[in-house]
Structure 1
Amino acid sequence: MILREALDNSGVIGALEDHLIDPRDPLRVRHSLASQLRTVVLQRAMGWGDLNDTDVLGHDPLWRLACSDARSLVPLEEARPSQATLSRLITCLSQPDNLDTVHEGLLRLAIWRFNSLPDVTPYTANTPMTLDIDGLPIEVFGHQGGSVYNGYAGARIYSTLIASIAETGDMVGGLLREGNAGPAENADTWIPHLVQRLMEGTHRDVDQFRVRLDAGFTDGETLRALDSKDIAYLGRLKSNKTLLTLAAPYLKRPPGRPPETPREWCHDLDYQAGSWEPPRRVVLIVQEKTDDLLPHAFFLVTNLSRYDYPPEKVLALYRKRGKAEAHMGELKSALDLHLSSTDRGHLTVQDVMARNQVNLLLSLTAYQVLYSVRCVMERHAGHGWSLMKLREQVLKVAAMFTVKARQIRVRLGVAANKWWPRLLPGIRRLQPLPD
Structure 2
Amino acid sequence: MDHPEGAGKTDDARLGFDRRVRLEFRGAKLSSDGGLLVMRELDDALGLSDLASDALHDSRRGKNTTHRLDGQFRQSVFGRLAGYEDVNDAERLSLDPVMRQIVGGRAVDAQAASASQMGRFETETLAAPENRKALADLNGQWIDRFHDRNGLKYIVLDMDSSVSPTYGDQEGSAWNWHFDCTCYHPNFLFNQFGMLKRCALRNGNVHSAYGWRDLLDPVIARYAKRNLMRFFRADAAYASPAIYARLEEEGYFYAIRLPVNAVLREKIAHRLTRPVGRPSLTKVKRFYEDFHYQAQSWEDERRVIAKIEWHPGELFPRVGFIVTNLPMEPDWVVRFYNQRGTAEQHIKEGKQAINWTRLSCKGMAQNEVRLQLHALAYNLGVFLQGANLPEEMADWSLTSLQTRLIKIGARVVRHARAITFQLAEVAVSGTLFSRILTTIQRLRAPPVLT
Is TM more than 0.5 here?
Answer: yes
1:416-435 per-position Cα deviation (integer Å, ceiling 9, x unaligned): 4242121122212213676x
Aligned partner of 1:80 in structure 2 is 112
Paired residues for 1:163-174 under 5 Å: 163-165=189-191, 167-174=192-199
Opposite residue 155 of structure 2, the aligned amino acid is M
What is the match of residue 136 of structure 2?
A: 103
Farther-moved stretch of structure 1 (142-151 vs 23-32): 23-32
CA distance, structure 2, for counterparts of residue 285 and residue 197 of structure 1: 34
Give the distance between the partners of 1:164 and 1:19, measured in 2 at CA.
Answer: 22
Task: Give the aligned partner of residue 71 of structure 1.
Answer: 106
Deviation at residue 114 of structure 1 after TM alignment: 3.2
Q: 1:252 aligns with which of 241, 254, 273?
A: 273
Please give the root-mean-square deviation of Cα atoms over the aligned residues, in Å.
Answer: 2.3
Structure 2 matches for 1:32-431, cutoff 5 A?
Answer: 32-68=68-104, 70-71=105-106, 73-75=108-110, 79-90=111-122, 91-117=124-150, 123=152, 125=153, 128-165=154-191, 167-199=192-224, 203-205=226-228, 208-259=229-280, 260-304=282-326, 308-343=327-362, 352-376=363-387, 378-381=389-392, 383-415=394-426, 416-431=429-444
Deviations 1:63-115 (A, max 9, x none): 111112x515232xxx4222232233223223333223223321132233334
**Distance in 2 between residues matched to 1:256 and 1:302, nearest whole Å:** 33
Q: Tell me the distance in 2 between the aligned counterparts of 1:246 and 1:414.
A: 62
Note if 1:2 corresponds to 2:24: no
CA distance in 2 between partners of 1:12 and 1:382 (Å):
24
The amino acid across from 1:372 in the alignment is F
**What is the letter of the counterpart of residue 245 of structure 1?**
E
The equivalent residue for 1:347 is none
Q: Distance in 2 between matches of 1:379 and 1:109?
A: 23
Q: Distance in 1 between matches of 2:345 and 2:180?
A: 22
Total equivalences in the alignment: 407
Equivalent pair of 1:10/1:433 in contact (CA under 8 Å): no
Tell me the equivalent position of 1:348.
none
- State the one-letter code of the partner of 1:7: D
Unaligned residue ranges in structure 1 (runs of 5+): 344-351
**Cα gap change, 1:149/1:293 in structure 2, threshold over 3 Å: closer, same or farther?**
closer
Structure-2 separation of matches of 1:354 and 1:228: 33
3-state SS of 2:245 partner: helix
SS in 1 for 2:218: helix
Q: Distance in 2 between matches of 1:224 and 1:362?
A: 32
Q: Which amino acid aligns with 1:251?
A: L
Consecutive unaligned residues of structure 2, counting only runs of 5 or more, are: 1-36
Q: Residues 155, 273 of structure 1: CA spacing in aligned structure 2 closer, same or farther, 3 A cutoff?
A: same
1:145 Cα offset (Å): 0.4
How far off its partner does 1:250 sit? Answer: 2.9
Q: 219-228 or 407-416, which moves further after superposition? A: 219-228
Cα separation, 1, equivalents of 2:329 and 2:158: 21
SS in 2 for 1:4: helix
Residues 112, 432 of structure 1: 8 Å contact kept: no
Name the amino acid aligned to 1:296: R
Whole-angstrom CA distance in 2 between matches of 1:266 and 1:179: 37
3-state DSSP of counterpart to 2:319? strand
**2:206 and 2:271 mapped to 1: Cα distance?**
37
Equivalent position SS for 2:411 = strand
Output one character per residue of 1:391-420: Cα deviation in whole Å (capped at 9) or x when no partner.
222222222211222422112223242421
Change (3 A) 1:180 1:268: same
TM-score (norm 2): 0.84
Residue type of the alignment partner of 1:154: D
Q: Secondary structure at the match of 1:429?
A: helix
> Contact 2:193 / 2:386 at 8 angstroms: preserved in 1?
no
Deviations 1:234-268 (A, max 9, x none): 11111111211222133234433334521212111
Over 3 Å counting, the alpha-carbon distance change for 1:189 and 1:371 in structure 2 is closer
Instruction: Look up the SS of the partner of 2:444 in the other structure.
Output: coil
- What is the identity percentage for the equivalent residue pairs of Structure 1 and Structure 2? 28
- Quick one: distance in 1 between partners of 2:45 and 2:141? 12
Partner of 2:66: 30
2:10 equivalent in structure 1: none
Q: Write the distance in 1 (CA, Å) between the matches of 2:423 and 2:218.
A: 45
Distance 1:425 1:378, change over 3 A: closer
Structure 1 residue 274: deviation in Å?
A: 3.2
1:336–1:432 distance in 2 versus 1, CA, 3 Å = farther
Cα contact 1:234–1:301 (8 A) shared by 2: yes
Seen in structure 2, the aligned counterparts of structure 1 residues 175 and 433 have a Cα distance that, compared at 3 Å, is farther
Rounded Cα–Cα distance in structure 1 between residues aligned with 2:92 and 2:336: 47
Given that 1:73 and 1:406 are in contact with CA atoms closer than 8 Å, whether structure 2 keeps it comes out as no
